[in-house]
A and B are shown apart, each in its own frame.
Chain A
Amino acid sequence: MLDLWLRYGDRLIDGAVITVKLVALACLIGLVLAIPLALARRSDRRWIAVPAYLYIYFFRGTPLIVQLALLYYGLAQFEAVRESPLWIVLGDAETCGLLGLTLNTTAYVAEILRGGIAAVPKGEVEAAEACGMSRATVYRRIVLPRAIRIAWPAYGNEVILLMKGSALVSTITVYDLMGETRSVFSRGYDDTVYLYAAALYLALALAVTGAFRLGERQMNRYLRAAG
């Protein structure tokens, strides 16, 4: 059992690095994209709200594995795609995987943020307006910072789900932790490699949980100072 780790441990670690990189980037880009999407979803103008709703429904209503296959294998079917500049992203498994994860998490985070925005107390918004802040300023200074604090625990959950979901990029030939694991397994059919992978994923999940707890404390430290 141990000699399997001595032989393939480096590969699993390399895979884990790819996993962390993909998840971190998808999280970051996803969060940035989710803010306008959540605002669009809440808009009173139907031509803005409906496309946002459809985007979210599509990405939350279908399996990630199918979304990835559609992006990586599906779009490659078209000559026009293969010759367009889009191919720089879609032609490489890793960037294509990143794109898929990002599009997917954007939908989930937008939904989480929407809930957070809805939970911001009305009085705070009215107070800000009474101070003479413009709508944009109210959003930038009051609504979004408050919404992110409210949505933070749910967002932490989503990051863990995204990390678990990222294992699916192995199905489009990315050598992330799961990809390396499956390739090691296919050599000798020694299933202990799955246990190693499980331990590594678990460690990553615990690290994410810890980081979010820390972030939550940091974010809400002003509350403690007052109390």
Chain B
Amino acid sequence: MIPEILQFGDTGFGDELVVGALVTLEIALYSLAIGLALGLAAASAKLSRAPALRAAAEAYSLLVRGIPELLIILLVYYSGGAAIEALLKIFGYDGGFDFNKRLAGSLALGLIFGAFASEVFRGAFMAVPKGQIEAALAVGMTRRQVFLRVRFPQMLRFALPGLGNLWMVLLKDTSLVSVIALDELMRETSVAAEATQRPFVFYLAATVLYLLLTIVSDVFRARLERHANRGVAGEAVPRRILRRSA
């Protein structure tokens, strides 16, 4: 049933593709971690009272929004690598710098995710009702406690749908790091396609694997949203999902 070239083992490329898909997932998770941290930092900067911080965060969003993802990856890998090498030279290290591809790819994708996530976080922070913050202050919580107990958890609930969308985008964008020859799913696929001269079979197999990742993420996302909304009356099932099945 499965063509021989797609089987596991020495004769087929099936195992290579699956390993590639796992690398894809790994890169996506690293990027998610970097991107969430960057996004939160940039959102705080956007909401801060210091104009310089606000301007820097806005510039970051604008740059990432206008420059193709592919170009950002190449910029981070080549220009970023060259910059680090130059920096190391200043400190007297002359051994050159070999930019780890996974690190460079995850950094670039994290940078992209962070820029869009900062908008999601900003909107979510602003969506927390003022009355709740006032109530928390009124019962005597400190600013820190208000943030940790009220603003942050409430914000997460509002941010979740937006972050879910960004995760889907991120998952697909991992395919772009194949341009720096990182051995994720897309790269493994094109190597196999070239080696066997059967590109259609392999690219089709790759789309199936990407679709699987998407579908699994979709299910997981719906669960997470339901979990996040469990304390809200009438919102136990996110409205978007109701509409989809109707």
Contacts and interface: CB of A to CB of B under 8 A. Distances in A.
A61 interface: yes
B181 interface: no
A61 B168 CA distance: 8
A194 B79 contact: yes
Nearest to A74: B200
A67 B207 contact: yes
A73 B203 contact: yes
Interface stretch (A25-33, A129-137, A200-208, A212-220): A200-208
B172 A63 contact: yes
A75 B68 contact: no
B175 A194 contact: no
Contacts of A65: 175-176, 178, 186
A167 B179 CA distance: 12
A178 interface: yes
A178 B66 contact: no
A163 B172 CA distance: 17
A70 B210 contact: no
Contacts of A178: 68, 70-71
Contacts of A165: 68
B66 A206 contact: yes
Interface in B159-177: 168, 172-176
Contact of B199 (A69, A166, A194): A69
17 contacts: A61-B210, A61-B215, A63-B210, A70-B204, A74-B202, A77-B198, A78-B200, A164-B66, A167-B70, A168-B176, A178-B70, A194-B75, A197-B71, A198-B75, A201-B66, A201-B68, A205-B65
Interface range for B:
35 or more
A164 B79 contact: no
B200 A167 contact: no
Given A168-B176, A185-B78, 6 more contacts: A57-B211, A74-B199, A74-B202, A160-B65, A165-B68, A181-B71
A26 B203 CA distance: 23
Contacts of A138: none
Instruction: Please classify the interface of chain A as helix (H, G, I), strand (E, B), loop, or mixed, using the class held by over half of its residues.
Output: helix
A124 interface: no
A182 B176 CA distance: 14
A197 B78 CA distance: 14
A137 B102 CA distance: 55
A98 B110 CA distance: 29
Contacts of A105: none
Instruction: Please classify the interface of chain B as helix (H, G, I), strand (E, B), loop, or mixed, using the class held by over half of its residues.
Output: helix
B63 interface: yes
A66 interface: yes
A84 interface: no
B210 A74 contact: no
Given A63-B172, A76-B199, A194-B74, A70 B68 contact: no
Nearest to B76: A194
Interface in B174-209: 174-176, 178-179, 186, 189-190, 193, 197-204, 206-207
A87 interface: no
Contacts of B175: 63, 65-66
Contact of A198 (B67, B178, B210, B215): B67
A198 B69 CA distance: 10
Q: Looking at B67, B75, B198, B210, which has the most chain A CB atoms within 10 Å of its CB?
A: B67
A77 B74 contact: no
B229 interface: no
A164 B207 contact: no
A168 B74 CA distance: 13
A171 interface: yes
Contacts of A194: 71, 74-75, 78-79
A164 B199 contact: no
A195 interface: yes
A191 interface: yes
A69 B78 contact: no
Contacts of B190: 69
Given A63-B173, A63-B186, A73 B193 contact: yes
Interface in B74-117: 74-75, 78-79, 82
A170 interface: yes
B214 interface: yes
